[in-house]
Amino acid sequence: MECPSCRSHAISFWKWCVGLNAFRYTCESCGAGLRASTGVWAGFVITVAVALPVAIIIGLDFARLLSSDPGAWIRIATEVALASVLVFAGAVVTYSFFGYTLQRE
């Protein structure tokens, strides 16, 4: 992801995924304060909106597991994998197509 101030590579994908780096960061090259662009916020909201129903289904299957449904573990594992893929895909698309803007003082 490029720094809008110095145009150098500001942050790696994996570092961008850690903590709140996707939303607020300081460019290591020029020291500019950076914040998430509108596109990053949109990507975050869309990713959560897509993954949230899967998370709710996981919660419902945990409830079935507590009632001793033998197939619940397989469904839960599948749903956790699906949610993980959705969140990862959302992060990759957001990181690849959107960037930072400069912080205003």
In the shown chain, the binding pattern of residues 31 to 70 toward Zn ion, with x for contact by CB under 5 A and - for none, equals -x--------------------------------------
- Least distance in Å: CB of 26 to Zn ion? 9
Describe the chain by its helix, strand, coil percentages, rounded to 5: 55, 10, 30
Among 1, 27, 40, 51, contact with Zn ion (rule: CB under 5 A): 27
How far is the C-alpha of 91 from the C-alpha of 6, rounded, in Å?
Answer: 24
Q: Is residue 5 part of the contact set for Zn ion (CB under 5 A)?
A: yes
Task: Give helix 72-97 / helix 38-66 axis angle, nearest 10°.
Answer: 180
Among 2, 6, 53, 93, contact with Zn ion (rule: CB under 5 A): 6
Bridge partners of 25, per DSSP, are 34
